[in-house]
Amino acid sequence: MTPLLRLALALALALGSGSTAFADETCQSPYLPKLVGQEDFVYVWTLGVEGLGDGSDKLVTVGANPARSDYGKVVSKVSVGGRHEAHHAGFTDDRRYLWAGGLDDSRIFVFDVGSDPAKPVLVRTIADFVEKTGGVVGPHTFYPIPGRMLISGLSNASDKGGRTGIAEYNNDGSHVRTLWMPAGAEYGYDLRVNAHLNRMLTSSFTGHANYMRPMQELLADAEAMKRFGSTMVVWDFHARKPLQTLEVPGAPLEIRWALDPTHEYAFTSAALTSKLWGVFRKSDGRFEAVEIGAIGDPAKVPLPVDISLSADDRTLFVDTFFDGTVRVFDVSNPRAARLIYEKKIGAQVNMVSQSWDGKRLYFTSSLLGNWDGTNHEDEQFLKAYGWDGKQLTPTFAIDFRAEQLGRPHHMHFGQLGFWSARAESPGDVAAR
């Protein structure tokens, strides 16, 4: 390990173990500076719905600080024009800009969230992502590294199937290179980096031809249902070179590395089999994928979607879309997940974001425009809860339909005065 990386990790541990409450959502890049104290805002990347408000995708800012008058209220909204299947977003490594993507036409929208955190502004639209990347379609994860953004794809322009790649961009919006997924593991979804181990993990979902179809139609197509990923890839992060392909059946989705540098493992959930998996480093430096628990009743296919790992690596929150439930697992023994709590959040639930101190969680309802409302009420919400280590207690909720906003999906936290007040971060150190 280099001296700079060792210093960055030491700083990260010091920040995580101190008495100050940290607001930053736990499942972020190690190169991203953390918010210290209470988050003031939740930025919600939201799908437009025809006939609802202006019908466009938008970034919605919601007050999240109970000490402010805008707590639990919509503070601002920025429409991008049109519907692009808004999905995921990610900060640049200085946290001043938020990149957000559309899975349908692969447009990327860059918002300035630093100049006025209460009122983000759309400052750039990247409309040539498919052309510049050589045919990658469906920008999913936006993952900051020093000076650059890694963007995982879901599909390709040739056949709209699952073969895809990872795009690397400079923070100024210029394309650097494209890494196609290796043979035998062509599908993509999430990507996450463990800086301590110099390893990157990627997971796998399905292509544009599947994710843009109505779910009932897709479920009835036996051949289409075969076209889902079943692999995770271990990469040499610095070399951007694939090293291993791990078999993880049933579309492994979100990846969460343990935050303690001595914990050399990561978690994921398989959507189609409703299983939790761990990816563990072995004594020889290679990795193995191990099934560590069931999520609800797999026979009922509750469809696990998002997961969030607590800062102490002991608690994993798992959302299941079809039954609208969050399940909380004790993963202090990472090879044997143990269910300790569950709560129904709504008719459907998708994303979950957790504050660094573990005391606040936020949930949104939308998965994909053509999948929402399958077999249940299509309610759309942002809901906030307090967590005392034993149960969730509701604090506020916003009905995105009643507010004429659309379908809320991905969330990130913001804070007033962050740049003027923050000390040097681990990300700053690692970038030099």
Q: What is the pLDDT of residue 422?
A: 54
Q: Please, are residues 151 and 177 in contact by the beta-carbon 8 Å criterion? A: no
23 pLDDT band, cuts 50/70/90, is: low
10 pLDDT band, cuts 50/70/90, is: very low
3-state secondary structure 56-108: CCEEEEEECCCCCCCECCEEEEEECCCCCCEEEEEECCCCCEEEEEECCCCCE
User: In the predicted model, is pLDDT for residue 19 greater than 70?
Assistant: no
Sign of CA dihedral 64, 67, 70, 72: positive
Q: What is the pLDDT of residue 14?
A: 35
Mean of pLDDT values over 25-50: 92
pLDDT per residue as tens digits for the range 349-385: 999 999 989 999 999 999 999 999 998 889 999 999 9
Higher pLDDT, 11 or 175: 175
User: In the predicted model, is pLDDT for residue 138 greater than 90?
Assistant: yes
Q: How far apart are CA 67 and CA 352, in angstroms?
A: 23
H-only helix segments in 96-206:
129-133
Query: Which tokens is 4 given?
Result: 């700079």
The residue written with tokens 């914990």 in the block is 263
99 pLDDT band, cuts 50/70/90, is: very high
Q: Please, are residues 171 and 149 in contact by the beta-carbon 8 Å criterion? A: yes
Question: Residue 158 corresponds to which amino acid?
Answer: S
Q: Residue 368 sits in which domain range?
A: 3-431
16 pLDDT band, cuts 50/70/90, is: very low
Q: Please, are residues 231 and 243 in contact by the beta-carbon 8 Å criterion? A: no
Q: What is the pTM for the complete model shown?
A: 0.92
What's the CATH number where 26 sits?
Answer: 2.130.10.10
Query: In the chain, how many domains are there?
Result: 1
417 pLDDT band, cuts 50/70/90, is: confident
Q: How far apart are CA 25 and CA 362, in angstroms?
A: 10
Q: How far apart are CA 339 and CA 331, in angstroms?
A: 9
* Nearest CA-CA partner of 188 in 233, 149, 220: 233
